[in-house]
Structure formats: C-alpha cells, structure tokens
Amino acid sequence: MKRHLPVALTTLRLLLGPLALAGAQLHWPRLMFLPLLVAGTLSDIYDGVLARRYGVATPALRRYDSVTDLLYYLFLLVVLGRLCHAVLVANWRAVALILTLEAAVILVCFFKFGKYPATHSWLAKFYGLYLLFSLGALLAFNAGAWAIVSLAIVATLADGEIILMHLLSPVPPVDVRSIFHRSRKG
C-alpha cells in the first residue's frame, strides 16, 4: 500500500487543478483557494520524498510528476484568468515570459533527448515554493503586479538553469540538484 502513495499524491495534484477551476466557476470565496494550493504543493513535495523512501522513484514516475505539474499549473493559469484577469492583462509580458520559458524547457529537453524534463533541481523546487507564495497572494488575497513580476524573475532563474543543464548534458538530467552537480548525474 505504501508503495502506491507517491502515485496517489501525484494524481491528487492532477485532480486539484480541475477542482480549482470548478471553484472559480462556482465563485468560491478567494481564501478557499489557499488550502487547495497548499495541498498541491505538499503533494508535489511528498510524492518524491515517499517515492525515494519506498524505492519506487523511477524516471517514469518523475516524468508523471513533471507532466502533472504542468497540467496543474495550466489549470491554475485558467483560474487566474478568471479571478485576476486585470492583473494578468496588465502584466502580460511577465506572464508571456513565464509561459515561454516553460515551453522552452520542454522543447529543449524533447528535441535533445526525446523526453519530457524531470530535472527537479533546487532552483526548480524553490520555483515551486515561490509559485505557492505568488499564486496564494494572487488567488487568495488579490495581490497585484509584484506577484507576477517577481514570479517571472524566479522562473527565469530556475528555467534558465534547467535549459542550460539540458544543453550541456550528454544524457537527460533527472533529479540533478543544480548546474554545478550536473556532471555527477549526467
């Protein structure tokens, strides 16, 4: 049973995206999004921790985690579009930069290795925590431009490192701590 927890946690996150969208459609109070965001982040943290602990951390599970992250955050982008439309439009350049960087990470990895990225670097993990902070600020507390602009800065650092890792690595980097640890893991 324990061996199935990582997949269950990843699948939970996959379901939280549509739940958030339903909440936006049903006009949930904004604070209702905060526990959903926290649950999504905690599931993202603990699915990997438990997968390693129970010996089920495979490249396929890591990629499932990464694809789930992408889908979860795309749902949240739609929710942001519904609840924070004016802030998104006013900061469209920062939003476009974030989306372009995310697409670039996927494209670089796919064209070089034919696979979806699963780097899980420290900067990528920080980016995930910063997503919680900035999305929480936007969805739960109706924050302004600072949340999107600062997120674009963090995205540039994290995604830039991931792109560089993929360009410099002879094999797909999976679970590489940073660009400085790349040679140890490919």
Tell me the C-alpha distance between 33 and 80, whole Å: 11
User: pLDDT of 84-124, one tens digit each?
Assistant: 999 999 999 999 999 999 999 999 999 999 988 878 889 99
Closest CA to 118 of 33, 56, 175: 175
pLDDT given at position 101: 97
* C-alpha radius of gyration, the chain, whole number: 16
pLDDT given at position 182: 62
pLDDT given at position 183: 53
DSSP state of 118: B
User: pLDDT of 121-156, one tens digit each?
Assistant: 899 989 999 999 999 999 999 999 999 999 999 999
- Domain 2-185 adopts which CATH fold? Four Helix Bundle (Hemerythrin (Met), subunit A) (1.20.120)
Residue with tokens 């640890």: 181
Tell me the C-alpha distance between 122 and 63, whole Å: 17
Q: Where are the domains of the chain?
A: 2-185
Tell me the C-alpha distance between 26 and 91, whole Å: 26
Tell me the C-alpha distance between 36 and 94, whole Å: 24
CA angle 125, 126, 130 (to 5 degrees): 120
Q: What is the average pLDDT score of the chain?
A: 92
Closest CA to 120 of 5, 11, 10, 12: 10
Closest CA to 140 of 5, 2, 38, 4: 38
User: What is the chain's length?
Assistant: 186
